[in-house]
Amino acid sequence: MSSFFLAAKSMLPLFLIILTGIGMVRFKAVHWNWIDVLNKYALWIGLPSLIFVALLRLDFRFGEYSSLIFSNSIYIIGCTLLAFPLSFIFKTSLKTKRSLFLLLAFGNISYLGIPLIANSLGTEALSSAIILSAVYPFWMFTLAIVLIELTGHDKVHIFLIIKRLVTNPLLVSVIFGILASFFKIPIQSTLIKTLELFGQSVTAVVLFSLGIFLGSQQIGSRKEWWPVIVLSVVTMIILPGVFFLLAKESAMTNIQFRTSILDAAMPMGLTAYAMTEQYQLNALLTGRLVILSTVLAAIILPFWIVITAP
């Protein structure tokens, strides 16, 4: 039990930032439109800076991360395809079925995952968390989006999918960071210091933004929350539990294994919510999943930190 409380304590500062955002929006000190500005700063400046500097200092060898990339890719693909049998069994609407392609696999890997993993597992886990921050969006903007478009009434827009990939700041920063590390490209120290300052600011920015989002949402009736509760349990406990049992026999290092399980158990993020809005899917379900899963994360993630400990 003491290990659980120690794990929870390591996460407490992060959740206090989220609570600050909730309080500020409830007291009308900040407004909903702050979310877009803060998220754009994080997406285009803060997170890419953090990722690039971290990878620049890493002696990157693809062989060391091949098992991490492969194992997590199999997990993501499996969870995404699980939308087909689940939607059939529970007879969901087409809108909800298409939403499940995003909801079953793609948690808050970058905005919450990177700072939380670095805070709870230490900086040695940062490189694995950063690699996965590229793996998850890759499959989201390829497999998940293709399935959403195939099961809808629109054509599959291959050019648009490719455009989203090559212009995604997180993917681009991972690629440039790996190249700079692999080829030992010298970077001017002043530029690195500037990027470090941007990277150091991003944790508070993204968590405060998440708090504003949570504080801006309507509660709704109790009955409407049952599907959200079920999905939270499935995505944060059951599916990561299956991954935990299967990945124990993989070639991943212990720190890669722990990072993978924590990322698999991450609460729903705002990227998936934005995609459900864009494709006119079940945004209400997704928004409530963001709220409940983030609240439950304060209990579930320390549990996984303890369970995966060597």
Helix (H) or strand (E) holding 161: helix 158-166
DSSP 1-58: -HHHHHHHHHHHHHHHHHHHHHHHHHTTSS-TTHHHHHHHHIIIIIHHHHHHHHHHTS
**How far apart are the C-alpha atoms of 203 and 195, rounded to whole Å?**
14
227 close to 97: Cβ distance less than 8 angstroms: no
Per-residue pLDDT of the chain in tens (310 residues, 90 and over written 9): 566 777 778 778 888 998 999 999 999 999 888 988 998 898 899 989 988 888 887 776 777 889 999 999 999 999 999 999 999 999 999 999 999 999 999 999 988 888 889 888 988 898 899 999 889 988 988 899 889 888 886 666 778 778 877 888 888 888 898 888 888 888 888 999 999 999 889 889 988 988 898 888 777 777 778 899 999 999 999 999 999 999 988 999 999 999 999 999 999 987 888 888 878 889 889 888 998 999 899 999 999 999 998 8
Helices (H), 167-188: 169-182
- Sequence length of the chain is 310
Residues 6+ positions from 225 with CB-CB distance below 8 Å? 288, 292
260 close to 68: Cβ distance less than 8 angstroms: yes
* CATH number for region 38-201+221-307: 1.20.1530
Whole-structure pTM value: 0.85
Fill in the DSSP letter of residue 225: G
Segments making up each domain of the chain, as ranges: 38-201+221-307
